[in-house]
Amino acid sequence: MNLRQIEVFRAVVTSGTTSRAAEVLRVSQPSVSKTIQDLERSIGFPVFDRVKGRLRPTAEGQLFFREVEHAFAGLAYLRGAAARIRDFGSGELRVASLSALSTNLVPRALATLVPKNPGVAITFQARMSSVVRDLVASGQFDIGVVADEIDKTGVEVRPFARFRAWLAIPEGHPLEARDVIRPADLVNEPFIALSPEDTTRQQAETALAAEGVKLSIILETPYATTICAMVAAGLGVGLVDPLTAEPFEGRGMVLRPFEPEVHFRTLLILPPHRPAPRIVEDFIVELFHALQETGKISDGFTC
197-230 confidence digits (pLDDT tens): 899 999 999 999 999 999 999 999 989 999 999 9
- Can you give the pLDDT at residue 165? 92
Domain with CATH 3.40.190.10 in the chain: 92-162+265-294, 166-261
pTM: 0.65
Domain with CATH 1.10.10.10 in the chain: 3-87
39-53, 76-90, 121-135, 177-191: which range is least confident on average?
Answer: 76-90
CATH architecture of 92-162+265-294: 3-Layer(aba) Sandwich (3.40)
pLDDT level of residue 89 (50, 70, 90 thresholds): very low
Rounded to whole angstroms, the Cα distance separating 146 from 106 reads 12
State yes or no: pLDDT of 111 exceeds 90.
yes
- Can you give the pLDDT at residue 85? 59
User: Cis omega (within 30 of 0) on the bond before 260?
Assistant: yes
57-61, 89-93, 107-111: which range is least confident on average?
Answer: 89-93
CATH 1.10.10.10 fits 3-87, yes or no: yes
Cβ(3)–Cβ(35) under 8 Å? no
Say which residues have a Cβ less than 8 Å from residue 243's Cβ, sequence separation at least 6.
100, 101, 104, 105, 163, 294, 296
- Can you give the pLDDT at residue 212? 94
State yes or no: pLDDT of 300 exceeds 60.
no
Class at the top of the CATH hierarchy for domain 166-261? alpha beta
